[in-house]
Amino acid sequence: MDKYVDLSDLVRLSQEIQGRVPVTAFSRLAEDLPEQVELTDVEWSIRGHQKPYGPALVTLHVVANPQLTCQRCLDLFHYAVDSEVVLEVVTSVKAFNADVDESGEIDSQAYDKILANKPVDILELVEDELILSLPYIPKHEECPELVELPEDNLEKKPSPFAVLEKLKY
């Protein structure tokens, strides 16, 4: 498989490319992850398509299950990623910035865009999507074993304002 792909050709020919790569192959992603004890693969596909008289689009689909560190209990856990994003393929900076008005506001109805005036590194695109799909603060929905802190078992002192509660009519 060629690492670089011309997205304009992918759209024009309505092609789809798929691949499977170990998560450790993504150096920027691996910097922020704990060591991947189990070999985890990232499955991806990118498909070019265009509706009649519509924009040139690519759909990137990324599926992975990297190991993260829970920020509450500090245990490792697998985080399921199943992300799909549709990008508009543009070939000029002018077209790339076409949805931005003078105030700097971006049209919320517009597709996210990718500048494809030269072949694009597909694995870099997959890595970007994977990084964006991970939580900023990873944590279990419910930690398996939370350690109780000594302060959690202390009796709560009554509020000094509790006496005022009795004075209500």
Which pairs from 116-120 meet CB under 8 Å and 24+ separation?
Answer: 116/6, 116/7, 116/8, 116/89, 116/90, 116/91, 117/91, 117/92, 119/4, 119/5, 119/6, 120/4, 120/5, 120/6, 120/7
Give pLDDT tens digits for 120-165.
899 999 999 999 999 988 888 888 776 565 565 566 677 777 777 7
Amino acid 72: pLDDT:
84
Domain that holds residue 120: 4-166
Give pLDDT tens digits for 49-84.
988 888 889 999 999 999 888 888 888 888 999 999
Contact call for residues 120 and 114 (beta carbons, < 8 A): yes
47 pLDDT above the threshold of 90? yes
Number of domains into which the chain is organized: 1
Give pLDDT tens digits for 80-125.
999 999 998 888 777 666 766 666 666 666 677 888 878 889 999 9
Amino acid 44: pLDDT:
95
Amino acid 128: pLDDT:
93
46 pLDDT above the threshold of 80? yes
* Alpha-carbon separation of residue 108 from 72, 84, 93, 129 (angstroms): 35, 18, 19, 19
Question: Could you tell me how many residues make up the chain?
Answer: 169
Report the run of H or E that residue 50 belongs to, with start and end: strand 41-50
